[in-house]
């Protein structure tokens, strides 16, 4: 994974919602959330949000996390890359 550019606009520490797109199904959302927690992500009081595509085949899972620095953010994105079915990350 390439490093984030130094001008990402984040002022750490901060809450950042990480989003993963993948196949519809409850297990995908659970896998995304668990992978982020296992990678050291700290959940915030904000809710995990799951939004299905109009055709129902795909979903976006948004997990708000407290991120302390750029290195941790890169680790969290790397963890998302390892979740089976992830087709896109924000």
List pLDDT tens digits, range 32-75: 999 999 999 999 999 999 999 999 999 999 999 999 999 999 99
**Which two tokens mark 85?**
């079915």
Count of alpha carbons within 13 Å of 30, Cβ hemisphere only?
3
List pLDDT tens digits, range 7-40: 667 899 999 999 999 999 889 999 999 999 999 9
Instruction: Give the burial class of 31: count Cβ atoms within 10 A of its Cβ; 0-12 exposed, 13-18 middle, 19 or more buried.
Output: buried
Spans of all domains in the chain: 15-89
CATH class of the domain comprising 15-89 = alpha beta
Task: Specify the pLDDT at position 1.
Answer: 47
Question: pTM of the predicted model, to two decimals?
Answer: 0.86
- H or E, element range at 80: helix 70-81
Instruction: State the sign of the Cα–Cα–Cα–Cα dihedral 6, 9, 3, 73.
Output: positive
Task: Specify the pLDDT at position 9.
Answer: 79
């Amino acid at each position: 994974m390439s490093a984030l550019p130094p001008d990402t606009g984040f002022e750490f520490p901060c809450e950042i919602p990480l989003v993963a797109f993948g196949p519809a199904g409850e297990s995908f959302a659970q896998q995304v959330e668990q992978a982020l927690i296992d990678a050291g992500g700290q959940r915030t009081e904000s809710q995990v949000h799951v939004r299905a595509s109009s055709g129902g085949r795909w979903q976006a899972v948004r997990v708000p996390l407290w991120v302390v620095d750029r290195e941790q953010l890169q680790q969290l994105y790397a963890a998302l890359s390892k979740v089976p079915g992830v087709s896109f990350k924000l």
